[in-house]
Amino acid sequence: MKTRTAYFTFNTRHAREYINITERVAAEVRAAAIAEGMVLVSAMHITAGVWVNDAEEGLLADIDAWLEHLAPFRADYRHHRTGETNGDAHLKSLLVHHEVIVPITAGRMDFGPWQQIYYAEFDGQRPKRVIVKVMGE
């Protein structure tokens, strides 16, 4: 089995941002020269996430509103007793999860027609990393 590991660093302008990273991951898959296998994409921070969904601006706005409804920013999270103010970011990360695995078939990510990979930042404006691990034959 062959593997390839890459790290992407993001430093978002806003505390909450959603970045389509599909092409960057696809470039790593191509560079790995793996015909059959999988690629793992994982946020390396507990206030960020990775998901697969449609790349449609209205849907992104709906997802953002849904996450804010379920885990709104507020001052009274117990986590804030530590001096942090990002309790909502931790909860949002749990909702979208921190990683995805995408199959590789014939050297390409094997997606449905609208699927794209997104990096979700919930406590940004500082450098954070994503690991991309391509594995297969």
Identify whether the C-beta of residue 91 lies closer than 8 Å to the C-beta of residue 7. no
Tell me the average pLDDT of the chain.
97
pLDDT tens figures, 19-72: 999 999 999 999 999 999 999 999 999 999 999 999 999 999 999 999 999 999
Query: The pTM is what?
Result: 0.95
Instruction: Give 24's contacts (C-beta < 8 A, 6+ positions apart).
Output: 8, 132
Nearest CA to 41 out of 32, 33, 50, 31 is that of 50
Strands of the sheet containing 115-121, edge to edge, are 17-20, 115-121, 48-54
| Confidence at 105, pLDDT banded by 50, 70, 90 | very high
Whole-number Å distance between alpha carbons of 45 and 74: 21
User: What percent of the chain stands above pLDDT 70?
Assistant: 100
Nearest CA to 132 out of 44, 35, 34, 6 is that of 6
Class level of CATH domain 2-136: mainly beta
CA dihedral sign of residues 75, 49, 7, 24: negative
Tokens of 74: 């507020």
Whole-number Å distance between alpha carbons of 18 and 64: 9
